[in-house]
Amino acid sequence: MPEQILQLDRHLFYFINHDLSNAFFDWIMPFLRNPKFWIPLYIFIIGFCLYRYKKQGAMIIVLLALTAGFADFTSASIIKYQVKRLRPCRDPIVSQTDISRVPCGTGYSFPSTHATDHFAMAIFLSLVFFRKWRWIWFWAILWAGTISFAQVYVGVHFPVDVTCGAIYGALTGCLFAFLFKKLQPTF
């Protein structure tokens, strides 16, 4: 990574991790990045799709699961081990001032798998439901963006990690939404 981008990334990380620090964020951000916190939303999406759209809803759920699975596998098992970027809490320079609000975690930092997975699901759902509910994109992007921001705030990812994870996840979501439209052209 070019030195100027690396320095900007570290400064932006410091700004989010330190300068935006407050008691409310310290309390809520660890919850927002925890997948268990979002289980009620996932259950609602599954139930809503199956109840409202029956067979097409089942297809949405299957492709949503494939979207998340593909994004997760390629991000966590392939890209991270090719790039091998250290997490902020393990970076020799940043770790000296990093405020770790959750355990550091194992593995590498680039890209953020949380950002990749949630943006993949958010874009997939936005594109699938856009004709029926135009406002869905706002809530889906807000959901994925909040989770991504939380990754930086708690100190486990750099801003470039979540930004690139979000871009990769969005591309994955587009790919699977395109596949859904090919399989279900009348939806």
Of residues 17, 16, 11, 7, the one with CA closest to residue 98: 17
Q: What is the pLDDT of residue 102?
A: 85
Q: Pick the more confident residue, 3 or 28.
A: 28
Residue 34 scores a pLDDT above 90: no
Of residues 127, 124, 120, 173, the one with CA closest to residue 148: 120
Residue 142 scores a pLDDT above 90: yes
pLDDT digits (tens, 9 = 90+) for 80-100: 999 999 888 888 888 788 888
Q: What is the pLDDT of residue 1?
A: 62
Q: Pick the more confident residue, 60 or 185.
A: 60
In this structure, the chain runs to a length of: 187
Distance CA 71, CA 55 (A): 24
Residue 186 scores a pLDDT above 80: no
Within 8 A by CB and 6+ apart from 135, the residues are none
pTM, two decimal places: 0.91
Which run of H or E residues covers position 73? helix 39-73
User: Which residue type occupies 9?
Assistant: D
CB 93 within 8 A of CB 143: no
Work out whether the CA dihedral 178, 180, 186, 187 comes out positive or negative: negative
Residue 16 scores a pLDDT above 80: yes
2-6, 66-70, 87-91, 135-139 — most confident range? 66-70
Q: Please give the average per-residue pLDDT across 146-154, as a whole number.
A: 95
All domains of the chain in start order, with CATH: 3-183 (1.20.144)
Q: Please give the average per-residue pLDDT across 29-56, as a whole number.
A: 91
